[in-house]
């Protein structure tokens, strides 16, 4: 039986800096370029996937010395430790199968940690590479929840100070809302808008590789995973596939 939609339910879309101090119910984080994709991919192939922020990344590396570090950071000490960058295509090519991976990004993993501190439960990660799968899972498991919070991660870096509300993340959140309300998003139009926005406003952060574009802007559910945040035995946040 096809699940009903969230048509009568409240769905809130809010960037991290506009969130309340306390969040009740499910929250979904979106970081299109490129944490959402990388988490969806890594949760399938890594032995363990931990997501950290600048407050706990060094503790995590010390606590789990066998783990490899992936992602991005302005911290020069971390830059020496990276096994692979935050590029979607490079993450896909890296030898990360059955490895313990600690992921830090400037936006996405920080947002996940903030959502945990605010009490959201469960915390999911969605991007275009697993959008329909996450929608279907929420329809099956959380149709009766009073509210769901969709969180476009946006840009925390100084270069985004004039416009932190990144369009590519917002459009992805809006696409999930449409799916939850049994509407069909126009992904081709969204991709065109997002690519133009990045080129116009943040050209220094534009993923120039076509391989990256094909992964972060995809109409197919490439991985069919539902990445959900749990507490790791060492106290850090871990992503597991709940599908």
In a domain, 89, yes or no: yes
In a domain, 77, yes or no: yes
Tell me the per-residue pLDDT of 106-132, one tens digit each, with 9 for 90 and over.
999 999 999 999 999 999 999 999 999
Identify the DSSP state of 69. E
> Which structural domain range is residue 166 located in?
10-241
Inter-axis angle of helices 108-117 and 35-45, nearest 10: 80
CATH code at 236?
A: 3.90.1560.10
Tell me the per-residue pLDDT of 173-205, one tens digit each, with 9 for 90 and over.
999 999 999 999 999 999 999 988 888 877 766
Q: What are phi and psi of 141, to 5 degrees?
A: -110, -20
User: How many domains does the chain fold into?
Assistant: 1
In a domain, 88, yes or no: yes
> Which among 49, 44, 58, 32 is positioned nearest to 191, based on CA atoms?
32
Query: What's the average model confidence in pLDDT over 8-35?
Result: 95
Residue 2 has pLDDT above 70, yes or no: no
In a domain, 64, yes or no: yes
Whole-structure pTM over 0.85, yes or no? Answer: yes
In a domain, 1, yes or no: no
In a domain, 67, yes or no: yes
In a domain, 3, yes or no: no
In a domain, 229, yes or no: yes
> Which among 241, 220, 221 is positioned nearest to 44, based on CA atoms?
241
Identify the DSSP state of 5. -
Rounded distance, CA 157 to CA 197, Å? 17
């Amino acid at each position: 039986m096809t699940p009903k939609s969230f048509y009568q339910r409240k769905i809130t879309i809010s960037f991290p800096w506009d969130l309340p101090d306390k969040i009740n119910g499910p929250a979904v984080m979106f970081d299109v370029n490129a944490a959402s994709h990388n988490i969806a991919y890594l949760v399938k192939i890594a032995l363990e996937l931990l997501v950290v922020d600048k407050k706990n990344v060094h503790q995590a590396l010390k606590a789990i010395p066998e783990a490899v570090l992936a992602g991005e950071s302005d911290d020069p000490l971390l830059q020496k430790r990276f096994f692979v960058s935050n590029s979607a295509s490079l993450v896909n090519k890296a030898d990360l199968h059955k490895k313990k991976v600690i992921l830090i990004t400037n936006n996405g993993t920080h947002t996940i940690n903030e959502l945990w501190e605010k009490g959201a439960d469960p915390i999911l990660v969605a991007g275009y590479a697993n959008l329909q799968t996450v929608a279907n899972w929420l329809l099956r498991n959380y149709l009766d929840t009073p509210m769901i919070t969709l969180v476009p991660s946006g840009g925390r870096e100084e270069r985004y100070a004039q416009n932190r509300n990144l369009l590519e993340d917002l459009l992805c959140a809006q696409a999930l809302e449409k799916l939850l309300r049994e509407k069909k998003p126009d992904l081709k139009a969204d991709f065109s808008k997002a690519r133009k926005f990045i080129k116009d406003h943040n050209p220094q952060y534009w993923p120039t590789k076509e391989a990256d574009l094909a992964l972060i802007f995809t109409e197919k559910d490439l991985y069919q995973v539902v990445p959900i945040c749990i507490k790791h035995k060492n106290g850090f946040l871990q992503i597991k596939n709940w599908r």
